[in-house]
Amino acid sequence: MNATATAAAATAAAADGGDGGPIIRFQKVNKWYGNNFHVLRDIDLDVRRGERIVICGPSGSGKSTLIRCINRLEEHQEGHIVVDGVELTDDVKSVEAIRREVGMVFQQFNLFPHLTVLENLTLAPMWVGKMPKKEAEERAITQLKRVRIAEQAGKYPLQLSGGQQQRVAIARALCLTPKIMLFDEPTSALDPEMIKEVLDTMIELAKGGITMLCVTHEMGFAKAVADRVIFMDQGQIVEQSTPHDFFDNPKSERTRDFLSKILGH
Amino acid sequence: MADHRPPPPQRFSLRSQAFRGVLYQMLAIGVIALALAWLAHNTLENMRVRGIQSGFGFLGSPAGFDIGESLFPYESSDSYWRAFLVGIVNTLRVAVIGIVATTVLGTLVGIGRFSRNALVRGICYGYVELFRNIPVLLQLLMWYLLFTEMLPPISDAINLGLGIWVSKSGLSIPVPVWQRGQTLALCGAVLGLVAALAWRRYAQLRFEQTGRPLPTFLPGVALVLGIALLGWLVGGAPTAWDVPVKGEVIVDGGAAATPEYVSVLLGLVMYTGTYVAEVVRGGIQSVAHGQGEAASALGLSRGQSMRLIVLPQALRVIIPPLTNQYLNLTKNSSLAVAIGYPDVVAVSNTAINQTGRAVECIAVIMLVYLSTSLGTSALMGWYNKRVAILER
Amino acid sequence: MSTVFQPIVARAAPVATEGIVPWVRRNLFGDVRSAIASVLLLVLAAVYLPQLIDWAIVKAVVQPDAETCQAARGVGACWGGIVEKFRLIIFGRYPFGQQWRPLLATLLMVALLVASCTRPLWSRWLVLLWVVVVGAFFALMGGGIAGLAPVQTDLWGGLPLTILLSTLSLVAAFPLAVLIALGRRSQLPAIRALCTVYVELIRGVPLISVLFMASFMFPLFMPPGVNINVLLRVLVGITLFTAAYTAEVVRGGLQAIPKGQREAAVSLGLGYWQTQRKIVLPQALALVVPGIMNNFISTFKDTSLVTIVSLYELTGSLGLAFNSDGDWRPFKIEGYLFIALIYFAFCFSMSRYSLWIERQLNRSRRR
């Protein structure tokens, strides 16, 4: 795919959210922290509807920053990001519209400790989605069943284990029926025996057809579920290919270096 | 064969830890009891030698001294009981208004330290550091000096407009002449408050049923003010005001606040405000950054995120040290004795000088302050249990 | 997708976000409200700040001449009063010719405090140094030995008295506070109850009432005929008061030590007092140094209250200096500003230091 042709097509079409085009498009996106730390360099990326992408790379490579730009938790200084036909700018209304379509799961779970599990899930549908309480609670229970944790609905987050909390966080993000799910190192803060339960939940979610971008070190997950694996280093996309090609035939020296480090032991 | 109950406890041994524990405690209690007995014996001896009677009976006899200011009528021929009561009411006058004012000031400054404007941040920081590092007694003395020396005497009293006069003798503000209309207005305000709370409940139910939030704050305020206005109209719409008029010797009319009261209030509010500001700042900082991010990621606006997520968690951290500061303000009001404001400590001091009954009078002071502190601690314990974030 | 990877070289941001101009733009004129506030505050400063500097510095009178000061009333500050009364403010009623003694004593004490705050000097010798310097302080101030003329304690005053009261009360309160903190955590119910009652009682009442108690009731508690001088009474009062608050600080430190430490000590065969002395207390006390420093700052400020029971420390000696002299009385406010500056200088530097120590301790604890 020619980069300039893609760019021309994007600038020609006003709102490109229809069934043909990509659901997320990054065009020559650049971001700096301060004056000198060039954290994202000329990122060009198209994400198709329903595509499942795993982003990996050494720490400091900008992978978390990349996905945080998608729901405007971080702001980019140069380039264009279009999510489901809406361009990300400083306009508050468009940012709020995008956040309704994009769900995020954090490394530190970030559940609200003063609310019960059920209240954590019904909060956004009621206050942002303007849903009546009963309907919100029904939807919440459905999502809790989906992540297999419905029996804990009345408990408070800090009464649950790490794995359970992360599954609640996934259910909370799903309550708004987002089109895109972002995962920022969801298992990095978990004890080893709890990683499996969260990954299983994510695999089931992936099989359901939702668009997923996942920053993770769990290569087993990538091999099981990903359509595309992206390797980032020093702020740019070094290599992207199918899992098969990525793990078996890495093209770049840097990719080979990285893979040997994380798969070697 | 064996039944599964634990075996009965061992026989009591003289060398066991438990026995040693009992021994130490008996020793400690014995020593303290002996010390107290010795102190009591000395005290009684000394009082006998100096001819001082003991007992609280003196509280009934006439006090024989005047008190500078009082909320209700008091003569020097009234009993000591009444004098102490005046002192307690004076302390409360400073404490209650001081607590409200310092909360407002401290909260504004605490939030101001997170302002986007560097000048505002700097001023808040400067205020906190300046007023925190100077002793509160010195601050009270400076305010008092300011009011008594910088302001002109009565004959040249300054008119701040709206009928407010300020001079060396204090502050006079106009007050409405209290008639039936005002009483009805007050009843109306209370009714309005009840109506506002009922509206809140209704709005909450509607929101849960339909998902559409109804405004609660503005209608609530409108209800309180509207029904109060209705009450005032029904009472004949009285508009008479008691406006202070500057005379030769005094400013006549209106409500007056003595320079002692104003300086105690100002000094305590400015000093305690710094601590309240730090408590508020610490509370807001204690809410993890990730909470705000998760709220944004869910699509909540900044106002919703503050109201539903950040403030409830921040308040849990703020309230206990905040009540501690309220107690500190109340305790610091005892310094009013240094500038002549007749709070309970000042009255007690005069009583000691007149009757020599140090033990009884100090006991009264300590009782007043202790009941306030212990009462607030109990309330705080109950509040903490109720809002505690449940953990494993 | 190209198969040859071309690394992109980092470049600088197109719009600078660091540097003076961006900082001003972001912090002073970030949005409309911020800009309005900045303009308003800068205008206020431009109007009032020059007037303040004019009064305090430019037109101020420094000569100790009452008439010049009177002439400059309302136009310039009268620092001359402070120059005139300097010795009385700083040293109180101490005999004029002997004032080198409190000066030396204060310098020694301040040096000791600074030395105690520098970590490299924390060792056993420091304790010995404390004993020596405190002894020297009393010898210098009180006299009666080594050929120094004796000076009664009720003549001690001013800054030396402030420093003496705050330092000595913390030193005396500290062992008491440790015992009380241990007592509050004891398994023996009677001990725990006694210590809790003491702490809650003292913390529930204002310092002034404790000072009144010490001042009025202490003589009654002693056998008839025994005379306690005012300084001792006040010292006992402040010590008992400080001990309660310090006990709470130490208790916080004890609570922060994980249970595992005690269990390890017990399994090694150490008894209660050995465990406390060698394992628990050293760790707990290192944790509470910032808290104790805050306590010291509070005590330093609270010593101003002893003015109310007739001991003339810094605040009181200022009153003495200005109230009695009719010529200088109108310029009391400048005097207040002067001692406010002294208190501020001491307390601000101590609180900065306490914050620094806290950061150091946190850094060493983070893994």
Q: State the amino acid at position C261 in one-letter form.
A: Q
Helix, strand, coil percentages in chain C from 3-state DSSP, rounded to 5: 75, 0, 25
Residues of B with CB under 8 A from a CB of A: 207-213, 288, 290-291, 293-294, 296-301, 304, 308-309, 312-313, 316, 387, 389-392
Q: What is the CATH number of the domain that holds C284?
A: 1.10.3720.10
Domain assignment present for C80 = no
Mean pLDDT of C242-267: 86
Nearest Cα to C296, choosing from C118, C141, C173?
A: C173
**Facing residues of A30 across strands?**
A78
Contact call for residues C306 and C316 (beta carbons, < 8 A): yes
The answer to whether the CB atoms of A104 and B208 lie below 8 A apart is no
Cβ neighbours of B311 in A, within 8 Å: none
C1 touches chain A (CB under 8 A): yes
Å between C29 CA and nearest CA of chain A:
18
B180-210 helix and A133-146 helix, angle to the nearest 10 degrees: 40
Q: Domain count of chain C?
A: 1
Q: What is the pLDDT of residue A14?
A: 38
By the 10 Å C-beta count (0-12 exposed, 13-18 middle, 19+ buried), B229 is classed as middle
A42 Rama class: left (phi>0) / alpha (psi -120 to 50) / beta = left
Question: How far apart are the C-alpha atoms of B309 and B67, rounded to whole Å?
Answer: 51
Indicate the pLDDT class of residue C357, thresholds 50, 70 and 90: confident
Helix residue ranges, H only, B66-79: none
Q: What is the pLDDT of residue B94?
A: 92
Give yes or no for residue C115 having a pLDDT over 90: no
How many interface pairs between A and B have CB atoms less than 8 angstroms apart?
Answer: 86
Two tokens, residue C74 = 């309302």
Question: How far apart are the C-alpha atoms of A141 and A150, rounded to whole Å?
Answer: 6
Pairing status of strand A228-233 against strand A52-56: parallel
Give yes or no for residue C95 having a pLDDT over 80: yes
Question: How far apart are the C-alpha atoms of B60 and B80, rounded to whole Å?
Answer: 6
Give yes or no for residue C366 having a pLDDT over 70: no
Domain assignment present for C217 = yes
Question: How far apart are the C-alpha atoms of A39 and B209, rounded to whole Å?
Answer: 47
Q: How many CB atoms lie within 10 A of CB C101?
A: 22
Question: How far apart are the C-alpha atoms of A83 and A178, rounded to whole Å?
Answer: 12
Chain A residue with Cα closest to C15: A35
The answer to whether the CB atoms of B137 and C304 lie below 8 A apart is yes
By the 10 Å C-beta count (0-12 exposed, 13-18 middle, 19+ buried), B319 is classed as middle
Q: What is the pLDDT of residue C266?
A: 79
Question: How far apart are the C-alpha atoms of C105 and C137, rounded to whole Å?
Answer: 5
C7 touches chain A (CB under 8 A): yes
**Facing residues of A52 across strands?**
A212
Pairing status of strand A211-215 against strand A180-184: parallel
More confident residue, B268 or C138: B268
Domain assignment present for C274 = yes
Q: What is the pLDDT of residue C154?
A: 79
Q: Per residue of chain B (392 residues), what is the pLDDT tens digit?
A: 556 677 776 666 666 777 778 888 888 888 988 988 888 888 888 878 777 777 777 778 887 788 878 777 787 788 888 889 999 999 998 999 999 999 999 999 998 898 888 899 999 999 999 999 999 999 999 999 888 877 777 777 777 777 778 777 778 877 777 777 788 888 888 888 888 889 989 988 888 888 788 888 888 888 888 888 888 888 777 777 777 777 766 666 667 788 899 999 999 999 999 999 999 999 988 888 899 999 999 989 888 888 889 888 888 888 888 988 999 999 999 999 889 899 999 999 888 888 878 888 888 899 999 998 888 888 888 888 888 777 66
Q: What is the pLDDT of residue A1?
A: 44
Contact call for residues B79 and B59 (beta carbons, < 8 A): yes
Cβ neighbours of A123 in B, within 8 Å: 298, 300, 308
Q: What is the pLDDT of residue C309?
A: 86
Helix residue ranges, H only, B243-357: 259-286, 289-297, 302-305, 311-332, 344-355
Question: How far apart are the C-alpha atoms of A54 and A219, rounded to whole Å?
Answer: 9
Question: How far apart are the C-alpha atoms of C68 and C84, rounded to whole Å?
Answer: 13
Helix residue ranges, H only, chain A: 3-12, 63-70, 92-101, 117-127, 133-146, 162-174, 192-207, 219-225, 243-248, 253-264
Domain assignment present for C100 = no
Q: Give the torsion sign (CA, B289, B295, B299, B304).
A: negative
**CATH number listed for the domain at residues B80-149+260-387:** 1.10.3720.10
Contact call for residues A28 and A201 (beta carbons, < 8 A): no
Two tokens, residue B360 = 């009884």
Cβ neighbours of C12 in A, within 8 Å: 32, 35-36, 38
Chain A residue with Cα closest to B387: A114
> Which residue range(s) make up the domain with C286?
158-309
Kindly give the parts of chain A with pLDDT less than 50: 1-17
C260's CB contacts (< 8 A; 6+ apart) are: none
Question: How far apart are the C-alpha atoms of A109 and B196, rounded to whole Å?
Answer: 38
Question: How far apart are the C-alpha atoms of C115 and C98, rounded to whole Å?
Answer: 27
Helix, strand, coil percentages in chain A from 3-state DSSP, rounded to 5: 45, 25, 35
Two tokens, residue B345 = 């400590």
DSSP E strand stretches across B196-336? 241-242, 245-246, 251-252, 255-257
A172 Rama class: left (phi>0) / alpha (psi -120 to 50) / beta = alpha
Indicate the pLDDT class of residue C205, thresholds 50, 70 and 90: very high
The answer to whether the CB atoms of B369 and C205 lie below 8 A apart is yes
Alpha-carbon Rg for chain C, nearest whole angstrom, is 27
Å between C6 CA and nearest CA of chain A:
8
Contact call for residues B268 and B94 (beta carbons, < 8 A): yes
A4 touches chain C (CB under 8 A): no
Cβ neighbours of B47 in C, within 8 Å: 220
Interface test with A, best of B204, B298, B318 (most A CBs within 10 A): B298
Mean pLDDT of C26-55: 89
pLDDT digits 0-9 by tens, C343-352: 999 999 999 9
Q: What is the pLDDT of residue B272?
A: 95
The answer to whether the CB atoms of B117 and C212 lie below 8 A apart is no
Question: How far apart are the C-alpha atoms of C322 and C317, rounded to whole Å?
Answer: 9
Element (H, E) at A237: strand A236-241
pLDDT digits 0-9 by tens, C116-127: 877 666 777 888
3-class secondary structure, B131 = helix
Q: CA-based angle A28:A31:A36, to the nearest 5? A: 125
C-alpha separations of A265 from A13, A54, A123, A247, B373 in Å: 48, 21, 43, 15, 62
Question: How far apart are the C-alpha atoms of B363 and A149, rounded to whole Å?
Answer: 60
The CA-based diameter of chain A, rounded to the nearest angstrom, is 55
Kindly report which listed range (A4-13, B48-57, C95-104, C204-213) carries the lowest average pLDDT score: A4-13
The answer to whether the CB atoms of C11 and A38 lie below 8 A apart is yes
The ipTM of this complex is 0.87
B3 Rama class: left (phi>0) / alpha (psi -120 to 50) / beta = beta
In chain B, where are the structural domains located?
Answer: 80-149+260-387
Nearest Cα to C160, choosing from C190, C136, C179?
A: C136
Chain A residue with Cα closest to B293: A73
Question: How far apart are the C-alpha atoms of B91 and B352, rounded to whole Å?
Answer: 18
Question: How far apart are the C-alpha atoms of B255 and B253, rounded to whole Å?
Answer: 7
Contact call for residues A137 and A191 (beta carbons, < 8 A): no
Interface test with C, best of A38, A78, A232, A238 (most C CBs within 10 A): A38
pLDDT digits 0-9 by tens, C141-188: 888 777 778 888 878 888 989 999 999 998 899 999 999 999 998 888
C289-302 helix and C230-256 helix, angle to the nearest 10 degrees: 160
Average pLDDT, chain C: 85
C-alpha separations of B330 from B269, B334, B345, C241, C295 in Å: 11, 8, 12, 17, 20
Chain A residue with Cα closest to B208: A133
Question: How far apart are the C-alpha atoms of B300 and A126, rounded to whole Å?
Answer: 10
Contact call for residues A55 and A63 (beta carbons, < 8 A): yes
* Other chains touching C, judged by 3 or more CB pairs under 8 Å: A, B
Question: How far apart are the C-alpha atoms of B244 and C334, rounded to whole Å?
Answer: 34
3-class secondary structure, B38 = helix
The answer to whether the CB atoms of B290 and A110 lie below 8 A apart is yes
Contact call for residues C117 and C353 (beta carbons, < 8 A): yes
